[in-house]
Amino acid sequence: MGRDEGKQSGGAPSAMERIKQDSNFLRGSLVEEFGNRITASIPEEETKILKFHGSYMQDDRDVRQERKHKKLEPAYQFMIRVRLPGGVATPEQWLKMDELANTNGNGTMKLTTRQTFQLHGILKWNMKQTIQEMDQALMDSIAACGDVNRNVMSTANPYQSSVHSQVYDTANRVSEHLLPKTKAYHEIWLDEEMVLDGRDEDEPIYGPFYLPRKFKIGVAVPPSNDVDVFSQDLGFIGIVEDGELVGYNVSVGGGMGMTHGDTTTYPQLGRVIGFCKVDQATDVAEKVVTIQRDYGNRSERKNARFKYTIDKRGLDWLKNELNDRLGWSLEEARSYSFDHNGDRYGWVKGDGKWHLTLFVENGRIKDEENHQLMTGLREIANVHKGEFRLTASQNLIISGVEENEKETIEQLVEQYGLSDGRYNSALRRNSMACVAFPTCGLAMAESERYLPSLVDRLEDIIEDAGLRDEEIVIRMSGCPNGCSRPALSEIGFIGKAPGKYNMYLGGGFKGERLNKLYKENIGEDEILASLKPIIHSYAKERLEGEHFGDYVVRAGYIAPVESGLDFHN
Amino acid sequence: MSLKVTNSPFNQEQIDLLNRLFPTLTESQKIWLSGYLASAQVGNQEGTVEAKDTTKGNTPQTRKVTILYGSHTGNCEALAKEFTEQLQAVHLEVECLSMDDIKPKNIKKVEDLLIVTSTHGDGDPPDNALSLYDFLHSKRAPSLEGVRFSVLSLGDSSYEFFCQTGKDLDKRLEELGASRLYNRVDCDLDYEEPAQEWIQAVKQELGQEAVSSSAPASAVIEEQTTYSKKNPFKAEILENLDLNGRGSNKETRHLELDLEGSGITYEPGDSLGIYPENDPALVEQLLQVLEWDGDLTVPVNKQGEELSLREALRSIYDITTLSKPLLEKTSSLSDSLQKWLEENDSKAIQDYVYGRDLVDLVTDFAPWKGEVSDFVALLRKIPVRLYSIASSQNANPDEVHLTIGALRYEAHGRKRSGVCSVQCSERSSIGDHLPVFVQKNSNFKLPEQKDTPIIMIGAGTGVAPYRAFLQEREETEDKGPSWLFFGEQHFVSDFLYQTEWQSWLSDGVLTKMDVAFSRDTEEKVYVQHRLLENSKEVYEWLKGGAYVYVCGDETYMAKDVQNALLEIIQKEGNYTAEEAETYLNQLRKEKRYQRDVY
């Protein structure tokens, strides 16, 4: 290991640490600030506390300068992110989110890269009502953002149903177990009685400072690595022997985020350190979280993710520390094999029921003049008796359809032109973009609004090369925080400025290898000009079954990156 | 860290002495010493130390340093603050501000200006540098002669327009006459070192500054013309923008007019008169129905001046309002009109003239007889429009600002628009001129006594004079408590001058503000409701001597507000309705209840 620690731990705690400590267990002055009618914003410090309640303050960046000129404050609005372990929602929950998106939101829903709903454009005055209505549909947004464990992901497609229900159960239990214990959310949004001064409260897992940074957990069931288990701070890889789920391999220290121009920050892959039984997963999760709580860097937020904690002290240190805290030792990791990190579209049957995976471009549910996606899904929710499963690639599974209901669903799919991806190129089906402009405050370049048209242009090249049905994972993020997990794509883009991206190549198709910077700060023309010859030679020179990411490494276009420590070399 | 020959400009002997001395110094001694050395440099003295009371200090006489930063991610802000401390440590007077926080008009008052800025996106200034950047690049940018400056720019060399904002500002400041104190330094991502080198060099330059130089102010005496209502000043439009955000039902123009050289003076509460011109399209329509040639010349005044008919209808005569006298006068030129007047009573005539204009009249009562000049002679001149001034002259010496609601509606099957408001909206570009004069209004004035509490109530454009009030109070540092009630339709799009009120609230120039947005909630909420909600406190302010101002719509708002005030006085003061009336009348007599309603 032995990376240069630069401005890492040992320094004074970052300002965020004081904010957390002073927040009285995440209450802050939220009640008072949400009552202030002079601004649709809340003060910056309060926004940091609000994150723990699952909401970001944002503004419509498209009109920011225009409004400033008009002497109006930015068009402040709030994003609410639901906590939805494993991405499973009932039709009633779907309908409630749809309704809230249309009454209080911007008329669209975003299915996120962490398998949950996001509503955008909620005005300050409508926040409480929105959260209360979510609550009535048994949804909350506690800890959906903030320095805590975030929404727990799990493999979405239930074609091995008996195993999947167990895996979902693990995701759910871990999520519940790692929820903050403070009643702040209930008091502030749901009008539950105040805990007088918070002193009676305690956060047995987190403590008053919570974690140094966000923490992400995902559970994967091979051969599908749809949750990108190696991008997670903590990953569980389901081990199935003789059709039975026997336990999980434990992977630690993955993460996507970095900062442009700062090589002490980098994306990293999780590393498998052992195996635990199914009912031990919650205990493992808790102990791993407490290690990060105690050892994570609290002075430099850029270097505070678990991956840096591990890379600084070594994997052996972590294993020992974990075994000590558990009071027992992880077993040897078992063998497993992934074969992809995307979704498998169309109908599959499992456990006597049918499941339909629909392609939702960039997870945006909305109605357009010629494509009534939102209405179509609402109609399905009105008749569907099973579940909706949100996938880690921002797609949607209509899950648990009885044989005799299948035709009804199929008719609605047909009527509203919903897509199982069959008519899309394999490249588009494997594309993913974060939100970025106009709502995300971090965005440096377009992402969701731009990737579809870039894929249009790439499709011309791909089709020319005869690769329309070749699955190539392409991902774009508007900033280096990497919500769409761009470092784990075969072709990755990270925004630098409007119209300018860093282009990365060589990621593994199964999410097992990071990509690497190929060209810096380029626009569309150069993107196309750079990729065209590579795609054509891939078409000519690829080996049987060889994926694009593997080819560019073999052909010497880019060096392989097996560890984040080599990402910048 | 100890000094070495390799890391300092000293020889070995000096190094030994210094290294022996430094560890023994206290913090305050170090600070004193650096100040002393800097001042010694100034006076070009030899470095002998006179024994002096060190607590008294030996602060060199220097110009004030202003550090302005433009920061997107916070790096420049942090650097600027660090530099501030470094310069203060050598006894320089330093002010450190975000570029957003310096009023553009104050830029010409700075002496030594240090700019630390990043560049955002594709060569753009960071958000908080934009206003000042635009101002400096606009034609309103002042001469900066006498200002000395240096720029530190941060950037990322992988971008095409590396450090562009710093480069632009550096160039522009020079163009505006400022002199460069030290050459600009452009830093890449690893900015720390070059940034420190820059501030050290700047510090040295500042230290070399001679003590004082007072250039005699050159007095410019110009022949002054007196402008008045009779002789309006043609004021250039400096700014003209729509204050309403997207999705609004309203269009409210904010105009800034240049009064430089006019000698015009005004006070908060005064109004500005504008001589408007008719919409050329309406003039053409009128010419069409009149079937007269627009190029015919007609006399426009008693002095016998002539204009083309088209021009006269555009700039001299009122063609948008009808009145009973006008109908009566013009009936001599239309038999059908004469007949109609004979057959209809006064009420019917009033009903007819309401919402109609000359095009309607000419169309409805054709044919018309007589000469063009006969017809035109019956028309009245376009009346001037008065607007409550939205600025303080103390705060904007050469400008006057207006807040004008663009009036558009449909009546009798045709779209109609307010003459002056839509002229300002659609036919007034920056650089155009408007004939204006000041209309004094002694009935709407800030209290003469400083520090008096004021309650300001206004809806829509009625908020304009309060902007003038607060600018004035800010400028004169009047610390009197102030409370603003503002109403409009929608929070998101119609909160006129929102950011200005917010900044006055945070500065304490404005003490309290309550807002009512009538169309954001199912039940409509207006300013009077907010007054009633704050009944007790409003009454306490009244008892504490507060002045109450009401500005805006007369028919609804002003009436409802007055009723609310009476209700508050009655309830909180335990008065009868009659006594409450007396109370309010007393306030009025004491000039503590002032209204500017229309």
Residue B285 pLDDT greater than 50, yes or no = yes
Burial (CB count <10 Å: 0-12, 13-18, 19+), residue B249: exposed
Per-residue pLDDT, B23: 74
Per-residue pLDDT, A4: 38
Q: State how far the Cα of B100 lies from the Cα of B500, in Å rounded to an integer.
A: 12
Residue A7 pLDDT greater than 70, yes or no = no
The 10s digit of each residue's pLDDT in A252-300 is: 999 999 999 999 999 999 999 999 999 999 999 999 999 999 999 999 9
Least confident of A127-141, A204-218, B26-40, B501-515: B26-40
Helix ranges restricted to H, B439-508: 464-476, 491-494, 498-507
Q: How far is CA B2 from the centre of its chain?
A: 54
Instruction: Please answer yes or no on whether A71 and B159 come within 8 Å at the CB atom.
Output: no
Mean pLDDT of chain B: 88
Neighbours of B80 (CB within 10 A): 24
Whole-model pTM?
Answer: 0.81
Q: Where are the beta strands (DSSP E) in B259-383?
A: 271-274, 297-299, 306-308
Strand partners, B68: B97, B115
Residue B361 pLDDT greater than 90, yes or no = yes
Residue B217 pLDDT greater than 80, yes or no = no
**B385-388 and B399-405 strand pairing:** unpaired
Closest residue in A to B484 (Cα) is A38
Residue B20 pLDDT greater than 80, yes or no = no
Can you tell me the ipTM of this complex?
A: 0.87
**Is A483 flagged in the annotation as binding?**
yes
Residue A108 pLDDT greater than 70, yes or no = yes
Residues of B with CB under 8 A from a CB of A: 121-122, 127, 130-131, 156, 158-160, 189, 241-246, 254, 491-493, 495-502, 505, 513-515, 520
Q: What is the mean pLDDT of residues A43-55?
A: 97
- Which residue among A64, A71, A498 places its CB closest to the CB of B498? A71
- Per DSSP, the residues of B361-400 read HHHHT----S-HHHHHHTSPBPPPEEEEB-S-TTTSTTEE
Q: Tell me which chain B residues have a C-beta less than 8 angstroms from the C-beta of A444.
A: 121
Instruction: Please answer yes or no on whether A260 and B156 come within 8 Å at the CB atom.
Output: yes
Which of B250, B492, B511, B519 to probe by mutation at the A interface, max A CB count within 10 Å? B492
Mean pLDDT of chain A: 94
> Phi, psi (5° rounding) for residue B113?
-115, 120
Instruction: Please answer yes or no on whether B245 and A71 come within 8 Å at the CB atom.
Output: no
Neighbours of B221 (CB within 10 A): 5
Q: State how far the Cα of B217 lies from the Cα of B220, in Å rounded to an integer.
A: 9
Residue B187 pLDDT greater than 60, yes or no = yes
Tokens representing residue B199 in the block:
């501030």
Tokens representing residue B476 in the block:
């004169």
- Which residue among A63, A73, A262 places its CB closest to the CB of B499? A73
Q: Where are the beta strands (DSSP E) in B15-162?
A: 65-70, 94-98, 112-118, 148-154
The 10s digit of each residue's pLDDT in B127-169 is: 778 888 988 998 889 999 999 999 999 988 767 788 999 999 9
Closest residue in B to A262 (Cα) is B189
Q: Tell me which chain B residues have a C-beta less than 8 angstroms from the C-beta of A39.
A: 502
Q: What is the mean pLDDT of residues A20-49?
A: 96
Instruction: Please answer yes or no on whether A497 and B492 come within 8 Å at the CB atom.
Output: no
Contact indicator for A518, A553 with CB cutoff of 8 Å: no
Please give, rounded to a whole number of angstroms, the shortest distance from the CA of B515 to a CA of chain A: 7
CA distances from A537 to A282, A465, A467, A543, B228 (A): 48, 9, 11, 11, 80
Q: State how far the Cα of B567 lies from the Cα of B309, in Å rounded to an integer.
A: 56
The 10s digit of each residue's pLDDT in A493-550 is: 999 999 999 999 999 999 999 999 999 999 999 999 999 999 999 999 999 999 999 9
Q: Tell me which chain B residues have a C-beta less than 8 angstroms from the C-beta of A125.
A: 491, 520
Q: State how far the Cα of A308 lies from the Cα of A253, in Å rounded to an integer.
A: 8
Per-residue pLDDT, B304: 82
| A518 half-sphere exposure, CB direction, 13 A CA radius | 26
Q: State how far the Cα of A229 lies from the Cα of A237, in Å rounded to an integer.
A: 7
Total number of residues shown for chain B? 598
Tokens representing residue B238 in the block:
């400096």
Largest CA distance in chain A: 71
Q: Which domains does chain B have, with CATH numbers?
A: 58-222 (3.40.50.360), 233-277+383-439 (2.40.30.10), 290-376 (1.20.990.10), 454-597 (3.40.50.80)
Residue found under tokens 């894929």: A455
Strand partners, A495: A501
Per-residue pLDDT, A10: 66
Closest residue in A to B513 (Cα) is A38
Helices and strands (DSSP H and E) totals, chain A: 17, 22
Task: Name every residue whose Cβ is closer than 8 Å to that of residue A499 and which is 6 or more positions away in sequence.
Answer: A445, A446, A523, A524, B122
Per-residue pLDDT, B414: 93
- Which residue among B121, B244, B501 places its CB closest to the CB of A497? B121
Residue B61 pLDDT greater than 70, yes or no = no
Per-residue pLDDT, A158: 73
Contact indicator for B513, B531 with CB cutoff of 8 Å: no
Amino acid occupying residue A486: P
Best CA proximity match to B63, nearest among B155, B181, B164, B176: B181
Q: How far is CA B289 from the centre of its chain?
A: 43
Best CA proximity match to A117, nearest among A55, A70, A66, A170: A55
Please give, rounded to a whole number of angstroms, the shortest distance from the CA of A521 to a CA of chain B: 7
Catalytic residues of A: 81, 150, 214, 216, 434, 440, 479, 483
Q: State how far the Cα of A328 lies from the Cα of B597, in Å rounded to an integer.
A: 81
Per-residue pLDDT, B54: 39
Q: What is the mean pLDDT of residues A189-196?
A: 80
Q: State how far the Cα of A101 lies from the Cα of A121, in Å rounded to an integer.
A: 9
Per-residue pLDDT, B210: 37
Residue found under tokens 């007019």: B257
Least confident of A159-163, A209-213, A334-338, B513-517: A159-163
| Position with higher pLDDT, B11 vs B382 | B382
**Is A440 flagged in the annotation as binding?**
yes
**Over the Cα atoms of chain A, what is R_g?**
23
The 10s digit of each residue's pLDDT in B499-534 is: 999 999 999 999 999 999 999 988 999 999 999 999
Strand partners, A276: A248
Closest residue in B to A67 (Cα) is B245
Best CA proximity match to B162, nearest among B182, B183, B186: B186
Q: Quote the DSSP letter at residue B554.
A: I
Residue B14 pLDDT greater than 80, yes or no = no
CA distances from B389 to B392, B440, B484 (A): 8, 10, 17
Per-residue pLDDT, A200: 58
Instruction: Please answer yes or no on whether A75 and B492 come within 8 Å at the CB atom.
Output: yes
Contact indicator for A443, A432 with CB cutoff of 8 Å: no
Per-residue pLDDT, A196: 55
Q: State how far the Cα of A513 lies from the Cα of A490, in Å rounded to an integer.
A: 9
Residue A102 pLDDT greater than 50, yes or no = yes
Which of B119, B241, B430, B495 to probe by mutation at the A interface, max A CB count within 10 Å? B495
> How big is the A-B interface in CB pairs under 8 Å?
71
**A516-522 and A500-505 strand pairing:** antiparallel
- Per DSSP, the residues of B494-509 read H-TTHHHHHHHHHHTS
Residue B437 pLDDT greater than 80, yes or no = yes
Q: Quote the DSSP letter at residue B557.
A: I
Contact indicator for A330, A276 with CB cutoff of 8 Å: yes
Burial (CB count <10 Å: 0-12, 13-18, 19+), residue A243: exposed
Per-residue pLDDT, B36: 60
Per-residue pLDDT, B218: 40
Which of B485, B489, B498, B514 to probe by mutation at the A interface, max A CB count within 10 Å? B498
Per-residue pLDDT, B226: 83
Neighbours of A112 (CB within 10 A): 23
**A431-433 and A396-401 strand pairing:** unpaired
State the pLDDT confidence band at A199, using cuts at 50, 70 and 90: low
| Position with higher pLDDT, B104 vs A405 | A405
Percent of chain B's residues with pLDDT above 70: 90
Per-residue pLDDT, B122: 75
Per-residue pLDDT, B207: 78
Q: Tell me which chain B residues have a C-beta less than 8 angstroms from the C-beta of A69.
A: 241
Q: Is the peptide bond before B276 cis (omega within 30 degrees of 0)?
A: no
Task: Name every residue whose Cβ is closer than 8 Å to that of residue A58 and which is 6 or more positions away in sequence.
Answer: A76, A77, A78, A79, A120, A439, A440, A441
**Is A479 flagged in the annotation as binding?**
yes
- Which residue among B156, B492, B496 places its CB closest to the CB of A261? B156
Residue B220 pLDDT greater than 70, yes or no = no
Q: Tell me which chain A residues have a C-beta less than 8 angstroms from the C-beta of B501.
A: 38
Instruction: Please answer yes or no on whether A70 and B159 come within 8 Å at the CB atom.
Output: no
Please give, rounded to a whole number of angstroms, the shortest distance from the CA of B36 to a CA of chain A: 33
Q: State how far the Cα of A343 lies from the Cα of A227, in Å rounded to an integer.
A: 10
Per-residue pLDDT, B208: 58
Contact indicator for A175, A241 with CB cutoff of 8 Å: no
Residue A221 pLDDT greater than 50, yes or no = yes
Residue A390 pLDDT greater than 70, yes or no = yes
Q: What is the mean pLDDT of residues B237-259?
A: 97
